[in-house]
Amino acid sequence: MRTMIFGHRGVPELYPENSLQGFRYAVHHGIEGVEFDVHLTKDNVPVVMHDEKIDRTTDGRGYIKNYTYQELRQFSLENYEPIPSLQEVLDLLEGRDVYVNLEFKTNKIHYKNIEKIVTDMVDQYALVHPILYSSFNLSSIKLAQPLAPNAEFAFLTGKRIKNPKSFMQANHLNALHLKFYHPDIESNERIWTVNQSLRLHFMMKHRVAGIFTNNFQRAMEIRDELQGKND
């Protein structure tokens, strides 16, 4: 099994995180998987951004939930693009041989009905591979599971999990997305966020199922060097 490489919020080392420019570059340069975060606006439009507030990555201030979608469009990322909607990102990814990991960003603010709004939208698109939903909020995963029976689900955590296999079975999970390597999980383990060369080499040597990284091209080079291009 070769380790799958996911672009963490696109390609943040080259372009603004969670930007259409970054996702477009990734798709056109052979990325295997993309990971991004979704919130809801005041008028329930899913948008792609990591933080609950727009302060860090745009020229605006305040919480996403306090703006309508059209109001959010007045603010820009560092590359002068507006904050992308989920629809714009899915338009770019539809029909592409790319695995999609959509994170429900609900661990701090649990937006009402976000799971149904998002899964209904995703169902309208012909993605090549089953979508992978993840969240730090287990209740979001449980709400989404009956809405998306063909999707895969992963729990995100920065903590170590006792009896990870039992935890996965009890919560009907396909994978765990972890900050730390667990040697006993085998094929169901993806690690975030792996950027340093030494850590990349470690994960590749242990053949974890996947990693999330800010520079997917560098990670793929190291992976191919250690695991081969066609294992």
Task: Identify the helix (H) or strand (E) that includes residue 39.
Answer: strand 33-40
| Contact (Cβ atoms closer than 8 angstroms) between residue 46 and residue 117 | yes
At 138 the three-state DSSP class reads helix
The full set of domain ranges for the chain reads 4-227
Of 29, 39, 50, 206, catalytic: 50
Catalytic residue list contains 110: no
| Contact (Cβ atoms closer than 8 angstroms) between residue 216 and residue 31 | yes
Q: Which of 155, 133, 177, 15 is nearest to 84 (CA)?
A: 15
User: What does the alpha-carbon distance between residue 83 and residue 27 come to, in Å, rounded to a whole number?
Assistant: 19
Query: pTM for this one?
Result: 0.97
In CATH, the architecture of 4-227 is: Alpha-Beta Barrel (3.20)
Taking only the tens of pLDDT, the chain with its 231 residues reads 899 999 999 999 999 999 999 999 999 999 999 999 999 999 999 999 999 999 999 999 999 999 999 999 999 999 999 999 999 999 999 999 999 999 999 999 999 999 999 999 999 999 999 999 999 999 999 999 999 999 999 999 999 898 998 999 999 999 999 999 988 786 799 999 999 999 999 999 999 999 999 999 999 999 999 999 865
Catalytic residue list contains 201: no
